[in-house]
């Protein structure tokens, strides 16, 4: 029996199995990182759009003159409006403050210039959420950090070297006990 060759083969076999399990762990870790990255990019794309810039200007810059005149900042959307005459519509954009939160503002852009944005919710002059026309609500999401990306890359490597090194160390110690001393 060749103990050294058997230990080497066992270490390689368990190292390969560990690398496969490390690859699976990388895949499991990759899914939420990719989702977080996509959410971050989608929110940042909408947050930097001209619609949001117009919303900031409408809601917070009181010195600017709006396209509908100075009375626009006093307009609020109303739920129970009387029936409108045929062909008449209420034209957003609206910037209004809810009654229950004095630090919050909601901005509803016009249909023509919305760019997929239905409502922008500001809290303390920062974007709290953006509701899109397809029903999604996007919240500020941080970009994934370097550490999760590093773990994704290192899991298969660790999966190989941890069992390989452990078996090699156990074999090295075992040969010290099994070989006769001269």
- In sequence order, the β-bridge partners of residue 94 are 108
Place of tokens 């971050």: 40
The answer to whether the predicted template modeling score (pTM) of the entire model surpasses 0.95 is: no
Q: Report pLDDT for 180.
A: 63
C-alpha 109/C-alpha 132 separation (Å) is 11
Q: What is the pLDDT of residues 10-62, one digit of tens each?
A: 999 999 999 999 999 999 999 999 999 999 999 998 888 888 888 888 777 65
Q: What is the pLDDT of residues 101-130, one digit of tens each?
A: 666 777 777 665 567 788 888 888 788 888
Lowest mean pLDDT among 4-8, 72-76, 151-155: 72-76
Crossing angle of the two packed helices 50-60 and 3-47, in degrees rounded to 10: 50
- What phi, psi does 74 have (nearest 5°)? -95, -5
Domain spans in the chain, listed from the N-terminal domain onward: 7-77+90-141+148-178
Q: What is the pLDDT of residues 167-182, one digit of tens each?
A: 999 988 887 777 665 5
Q: Report pLDDT for 113.
A: 57
């Amino acid at each position: 029996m060749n103990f050294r060759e058997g230990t080497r083969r066992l270490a390689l076999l368990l190292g390969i199995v560990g690398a496969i399990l490390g690859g699976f762990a990388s895949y499991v870790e990759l899914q939420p990182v990719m989702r977080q990255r996509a959410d971050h990019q989608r929110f940042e794309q909408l947050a930097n759009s001209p619609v949001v810039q117009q919303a900031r200007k409408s809601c917070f810059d009181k010195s600017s003159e709006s396209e509908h005149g100075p009375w626009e900042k006093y307009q609020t959307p109303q739920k129970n409006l009387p029936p409108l005459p045929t062909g008449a519509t209420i034209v957003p954009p609206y910037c209004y403050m809810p009654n229950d939160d004095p630090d919050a503002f909601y901005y509803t852009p016009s249909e023509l210039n919305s760019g997929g944005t239905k409502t922008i919710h500001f809290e303390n002059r920062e974007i709290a959420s953006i509701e899109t026309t397809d029903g999604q609500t996007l919240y500020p999401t941080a970009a994934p950090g370097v550490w999760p990306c590093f773990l994704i890359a290192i899991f298969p490597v660790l999966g190989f070297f941890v069992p390989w090194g452990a078996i090699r160390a156990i074999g090295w110690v075992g040969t010290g006990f099994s070989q006769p001393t001269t």
